[in-house]
Structure 1
Amino acid sequence: MSDAVKPVKIAVLGPGTVGAEVVRLLTRPGEDLAARVGAPLEISGIYVRDTSKDRGPHIPRELLTDDASGLIARSDVVVELMGGIEPARTLILEAIASGASVVTANKALLAAHGPELYEAADAANVDLYFEAAVAGAIPLVRPVRESLAGDHITRILGIVNGTTNYILDEMTTNGLDYEVALKQAQELGYAEADPTADVEGHDAAAKAAILASLAFHQRVALEDVFCEGISAITADDVIAARETGQVVKLLAIAERTPEGVAVRVHPALVPGTHPLAGVHGAFNAVFIEAEAAGGLMFYGQGAGGTPTASAVLGDLVSVARHKALGSKGPLESNYAEHEVLPMDKADTRYCVRMAVEDRPGVLSSVAEVFARHRVGIELVRQVPGQSHAGLILSTYRAPEGDLRATVEDLRASAAVAEIKSVLRIEGE
């Protein structure tokens, strides 16, 4: 490559686990990246709040700076890996205003302020890429945004949080209780000391909002996503699922129906025959259903420094190439105006486990409650009990509001001693 080719200058904001790996990959010997970009890549600096702190062997001290604005001003591409809302939002907007393209892995920021950032990037004619924000190393954003741009995506089912998948998988394969599996995930570094964002579904909800916005060509906000975590899942739920050939997974679901778009995150029973049922450990997988392409499965590591850095670097090569050639990637596609449905209007299926009075007429009383709310029963299974009989009922698809009202009436029924669990069924 000719020495006359102007280098593309890269600013890295935040040299944490992912940032340090990005810097390592950028500074390793070889000219592969430069050849792919069409110009040399040069790190113009690494923003940190404390320049005196040792950042490890892959972070050159001479590149550290606590002057974020100065670093942005002398850079062509800004890689934001700080996380959180502020100061990441302000610094990204500053970068865009200066004419720099942006690569980010910040799902929380995109879910909360995506429209503002997309509009700013489009107005400034710069790129905003975020492959690493949704499923780590899995190439997902680009296929949804570009490869399937000529198709109509109807549904997305995704395991997009490795922590919860690890916990549920340990409960399923090794019979662990929830608390034991969570503690094990923390010891292995899969879960934070405060695991709330993962186990209560907030992390997956942010990713669901991003995926739905891309898939359905309209803006879906984080507050539009129904969110329910896995902390109430018990060993009995997992055992009951296994006995019926199912597994429990935390799913991010986005679907387009004639009535509108519904986006939700919650635990669900998945048939053992579905591709998502075989996703083990801390891995992620996303199953996409499209009108022409049919079913597509994306699978891989959804977290970790090196896998996430791979996705960041892929974005970086793309936007750096655009900078070198004076071009730009695709604009935000948000032409659609589907109604974003509340959870009560989403069509789902329930599996209800309950203890009922062991006497004649009970099943008829239970069935009458379902009929009153126009909810069809697909399957009834009786299980042995001690003082009460056990019933497991699976429903046909119905509006969530009707299903929820059915369960509330069952709780008040004299025939029902206890509702042991309610789980939705997906993937059938």
Structure 2
Amino acid sequence: MTPRDTSPAQGTSQKITAVTRRDIFDFLRSAEGGWWGRLEEVTFLESLYDLDALPSTDSRRPTARGDIIQHRVSNFDWEDDWVFEDARFQLLEGPDEFLLAFLARTVHPAVQADTDQSARRVDELNRLLAPDGWALRAHAFLSGRPVYTPVPENTGGPLIALPLRDDDASKLDLVLGQTYHLLDEDGEGLARDLVRSAKLTLRRDGGIFHPMPNDNWTADTYEAVITADRALVPEFTTAVTDVIWQRLATVLKRLEREDVQSLVVEAALRPFPGITQDWRHQDTDPLTPTNQARRERKSNEGYPTADDLVFASRAELAVYHVLQELQRERPTQNGMAILPLASAKLRDAGVRSPDFTVLGNGRAVIIEVDGPHHYGRTRKADDEDRDRHWARCGIHTIRIAHEHTSDPASVKERLREDLTRTLFPPR
């Protein structure tokens, strides 16, 4: 059914309560500009209703079209909000579809010229509609401006009772869970997976950031803090963090925590090791990684593993799987070995643990997977110095950007070419 069908159809819903409807009408009354925007009222309504099929309330006019012209153009004796409680248009007591289509029309680019004002109106309408399970979402663009359509909101899952206090650990975990599901629905797989193992807290920003005009900062401003395993922190790039914050901010706003205005990601503190009184006489745990992954903790503390090997990040694990494929493609009599995070003592550079050392054909090559932290000027210089030390040993270094590991096929072609040139050159 569409609102232009002037009689209610079977199967239409009425989940939006009278309380919500009257709140919406109050908001539209106070909003800048009339509900009809830059259109004439008849033009606005005829896109939603068959005005020539609806009856008139004035004996001088046969249809609703003439009725509106008589009282809003000729006499101008109806108030601007006349349509909200006119039973013919079914906005107050009719099926949800009538009201939702009407609201979507009020923010259509043909009606509302100011895109920013339209977005602010959508935000407020969504806040009012949310308890009844509806929202307006952009589904297309007209001349670069969003066109909104009503969609049912997923209101399943545990409710989070208000108020949401700073120290409500269990409620904050539900907030993170709702953020997780929003990311999942939007296809943000990497951000979703990172959120799964994280912890959310709220804290005052402590005045660290100096307020600027119009930035909404106050002495009571909060920041959301996601605490993640130290090995995963490099995965929280600026782009990923922004994606998470967009969904998290939506949840917090609905829970009336608009004072939370930013998101930071921090590494979890490493737990102190458990010891006993005779710790001086205990043997070293034979299961503790030494040369392999000497910088990383045991696998049950968050680092990705495969084949009883430990990796510093999921990006390195992705490269390892690509190297395994290339390894299987090598002939048995001319294979190669893969050494993740194998430590080595260099003459003037101390102990180094490259991400991968690959051996084959009596040769060796180093592979480094560069995370976002490698792009700073200082770190880049350190990397060049590290590569120079390996070059003095006659070993070439291959560097792979962290973000490229999301495309294993491309990484595989790159490594096949580089390993063939360095380890297995044609004779």
Q: TM-score, normalised by structure 1?
A: 0.28
Which has the bigger relative contact order, CA under 8 A and spacing at least 6?
Answer: 1
Q: TM-score, normalised by structure 2?
A: 0.28
